[in-house]
Amino acid sequence: MSRKLHARRIEGIDKNIWVEFSQLAADYKAVNLGQGFPDFSPPHFIQEAFCKALNGGFSKHQYTRAFGHPNLVKILAKFFSRIVGREIDPMEDILVSVGAYQALFCTFQALIDEGDEVIIVEPFFDCYQPMVMMAGGTTCLLDLRLKEGCGPVLSSADWVLSPEELASKFSPRTKAIVINTPNNPLGKVYQQEELHMIADLCIKHDVICISDEVYEWLTYDGTKHVKIASLPGMWERTVTIGSAGKTFSATGWKVGWAMGPGHILKHLKTVHQNSVYHCATAAQEAVAVGFQREYDVFGTEGSYFQQLPKHLHEKRLRLADCLKSVGLKPVLPQGGYFMIADISNLNVDLADPSTKDEPYDYRFVKWLIKEKGLATIPVSAFFSPEHKDEFQKYIRFCFVKEDSTLQAAEDILRQWSDSK
């Protein structure tokens, strides 16, 4: 066929970090600290809820309400009304999606037009920029910067927004700003004053805030997660993105949601009903049961939302100690699943000719997979093409893994370090 096949909207966004590196990790049977998914099962109560749904009669095997299974949207509204301090309408203010990915896609497709600018804070979860481009928008990039006078052990809190630089990115063409807190890959948790700074500018310039909060329950050392939608004047202009996969360690179920005022959500629903239309009924029922349980035990030791961060806290410190012991410089995350580490101290002969034109961190990660059998993710993948070169000396480790997996990774790193 001689005619051009692909649509203009997908030009330049065909490469995907997850497709490339997950395949490489599988091909080399590497210990996988790469893609962000637990290598353990969801908690029993939600597995049992899924089994009960599957054996709960025909209706859980058939279509349910397009914008979200009634049991799920009702408990999501009830649960998060208590968090944001306002009444959330389950039928108007929530769209259940195929993971947070689809909630993000519906948001950009529904709200961004040709010529609209979207402010994205770097480093960012890689799909934001391609999704803005597919919607016809333009990205306006803003870097988190390492603040002056950081201590010897870096924390994600050391990366901050410049108030002046942030303000300078807002223009009459700015339609939205995307924030992700806790942040992937850095693990930064935006503090109240930073969120107020963003909120003030959104209100001043009449801009939508898209707040990706999929790691909302995973904060450490007493760090508090604040929902920007709960700040004065922000509910009306914020789309909050959530993920049952990250909330209940069930990434394969692909249940997520967008939450916000009905006058915005109605447009996301238009995209949803003209694309995916519907999410898995049984999985939604199981997530609804999970949230009802968590509603009943919220804030107590029995809550999974308390237990998981406690469980991951130890893993996070153990990984940081291991990385430091082999000459890497970890950045301790305030939240999330991931820890980045500076690899600039390591002199490795990256002789593989097949990767010579790739960024240094890509080449290093491929070498680590192929030669040492350990999978991680290059952090320049979380930067725009325009800024990739400035951030090629970090790699990302995922620590939401069984202790045996972390031990296997440590053994590889220590053997390598001893042999240098």
**Interacting residues toward ligand IK2 by CB under 6 A:** 18, 35-36, 99-101, 125, 180, 184, 212, 214, 243, 245, 251, 256
Nearer to ligand IK2, 141 or 348 (CB): 141
Backbone angles phi, psi at 375, to 5 degrees: -100, 130
Nearer to ligand IK2, 110 or 340 (CB): 340
Those residues whose C-beta lies under 8 Å from the C-beta of residue 342, and which sit 6 or more positions away, are: 154, 328, 329, 330, 331, 393, 394
Rounded to a whole number of angstroms, the minimum distance from the CB of residue 73 to ligand IK2 is: 17
Question: What is the 3 state secondary structure string of 307-355?
Answer: HHHHHHHHHHHHHHHHHHHCCCEEEECCECCEEEEECCCCCCCCCCHHH
Residue nearest to ligand IK2 (CB): 99
Q: End-to-end alpha-carbon separation of the chain, Å? A: 54
Rounded to a whole number of angstroms, the minimum distance from the CB of residue 364 to ligand IK2 is: 18
Nearer to ligand IK2, 264 or 279 (CB): 279
Nearer to ligand IK2, 38 or 359 (CB): 38
Nearer to ligand IK2, 205 or 278 (CB): 278
Rounded to a whole number of angstroms, the minimum distance from the CB of residue 343 to ligand IK2 is: 18
**Pair of tokens at residue 363:** 């080449």
Rounded to a whole number of angstroms, the minimum distance from the CB of residue 204 to ligand IK2 is: 26
Query: Does residue 242 contact residue 259 with C-beta atoms inside 8 Å?
Result: yes
Rounded to a whole number of angstroms, the minimum distance from the CB of residue 123 to ligand IK2 is: 11
176 forms beta bridges with 118, 208
Nearer to ligand IK2, 47 or 417 (CB): 47
SS3 at position 168: helix
What is the Cα–Cα distance from 177 to 170, expressed in whole angstroms? 9
Q: Tokens 């053997």 — which residue?
A: 415
Nearer to ligand IK2, 208 or 279 (CB): 279
Cis peptide before 185 (omega within 30 of 0): yes
Rounded to a whole number of angstroms, the minimum distance from the CB of residue 349 to ligand IK2 is: 28
Rounded to a whole number of angstroms, the minimum distance from the CB of residue 172 to ligand IK2 is: 29
Q: With residue 94 as reference, give the H or E element that holds it.
A: strand 94-97
What is the Cα–Cα distance from 271 to 111, expressed in whole angstroms? 10
Nearer to ligand IK2, 90 or 256 (CB): 256
Q: How many CB atoms lie within 10 A of CB 299?
A: 9
Rounded to a whole number of angstroms, the minimum distance from the CB of residue 249 to ligand IK2 is: 11
